[in-house]
Structure 1
Amino acid sequence: MFVRERERERERELHENKTMNTKLLGFATQIMVMAILISVVLLFVGVGVLVLIHVCIVGRAFRRGFNTMTPPARDDGRSGGLSPDDLAKLPCYEFKGGEMVGATTDCAVCLESFQVGDGCRLLPACGHSFHAQCVDSWLLKSSICPICRTSADGGKGGKPGGGDGLEMREGQRVTAGVPHASSSQ
């Protein structure tokens, strides 16, 4: 009898252990399912926030009209710089050197000094001189003098015939970037 009781007790314990294991397994399964659901919800919320941020940034760019990507319009109603044909019409000369009081001997674009033999370009409207290659790249983008902001396109801005009357003629002598009248005029 004692042995039978023990067997019943053992069966009851086994049954209780099975029920307990089943309950624990069910509880663990519920926890895992909840964790998966929360992860999926957080994933979609994160993606939604990123899409919202993207839409806001793109919307702001459209509202501004992409102003930061385009150059501002010039005051004279044209945009951009000189055409290559207009650029070719501006006077060029070879720097000869010399010493003149008040004359500039530096290119304001590259900040290098003029050297004897350098190809230079004179802007007739204002009389400023630059290395030809330096000012050419500037003038293709903007048709104003890099120093004084005077229109560089000769007769198109300012006085007819090129601004204040400075004009380069064939054979004209230039010293320290300033044209001089010569006897061959």
Structure 2
Amino acid sequence: MPAHYQPSPPTPTPSKPNPKLLSLLLKAIIMTLLTSLFFLFLGLASATLLLLHISFSSHRHRRSSLPPTSSSGLPPRDLNTLPHFRLKRHARKNGAAEDEECVVCLDSFRDGQCCRKLAACGHLFHKRCVDSWLVKVAACPMCRARVQSNAGTKSSMVGLEEDEDKKLWGDLVGL
């Protein structure tokens, strides 16, 4: 071999990163990111639920402080205090038509049917029809006059015979 040829020193090869170390580092970064996102969404969800709770509770408080409206019905105990009677044809006024009908059910009035005449406006209905209405709305179905539970008077009961009148008022007082 020639004397002038010298072998070159070996070049250092770049060191390869340890794959186990990279894998561990990547896992730590991903877990930190996922944990951060989890707590971020958890915080947003709890803030949203808290705002909804505050909104609904203030809405409920405002509703309960409002006075009852005419759209709220009569309680059953007040409904039972309203006068009712059995209809008699001879008790009708001369101007009343024979085919007069209940505006709630659109059925004609017949002798012996249990009816109510509302004291505030004087409109006549079948008892069961107007009772189902008054439970939902405390106003006359025809003219929307407010129905009072103590509004019934003897003059508002058409078609009562004397003994039925005493029996009815005796039952009402006995309640």
User: Contact between 2:115 and 2:124, CA under 8 Å: does it hold in 1?
Assistant: yes
Q: Does 1:43 align with 2:9?
A: no
For 1:28, give the aligned amino acid: S
Q: Does 1:31 align with 2:26?
A: yes
User: Contact between 2:101 and 2:109, CA under 8 Å: does it hold in 1?
Assistant: no
| Structure 2: distance between partners of 1:71 and 1:28 | 63
Q: Does 1:143 align with 2:133?
A: no
For 1:34, give the aligned amino acid: I
Q: Does 1:93 align with 2:86?
A: yes
Q: Could you list the per-position Cα deviations for residues 94-116 of structure 1 after superposition, in whole angstroms to 9, with x for gaps in the alignment?
A: 597xx928955431xxxx32156
Q: Does 1:73 align with 2:70?
A: no
Structure 2 runs not aligned, ≥5 long: 1-9, 90-95, 163-175
For 2:23, give the aligned amino acid: A
Name which of structure 1's ranges 31-40 and 57-66 shifts more when overlaid on structure 2. Answer: 57-66
- TM-score normalised by length of structure 2: 0.58
- Identity across the alignment (%): 18
User: Secondary structure of the equivalent of 1:125?
Assistant: coil
| Structure 2: distance between partners of 1:74 and 1:147 | 21
**1:129 corresponds to which of 124, 135, 138:** 124
Q: Could you list the per-position Cα deviations for residues 2-32 of structure 1 after superposition, in whole angstroms to 9, with x for gaps in the alignment?
A: xxxxxxx9xx99xx8xx63x62221122111
Q: Does 1:58 align with 2:48?
A: no
**2:160 corresponds to which of 153, 159, 170:** 170
RMSD of aligned Cα (Å)? 4.1
Structure 1 runs not aligned, ≥5 long: 1-8, 173-185
Whose RCO is larger (CA < 8 A, sep 6+)?
2
The number of aligned residues is 143
C-alpha distance 146-67 of structure 1, shift in aligned 2 (>3 A): farther
| Structure 2: distance between partners of 1:102 and 1:32 | 89
Shift of 1:50: 0.9
For 2:53, give the aligned amino acid: V
Shift of 1:39: 0.9
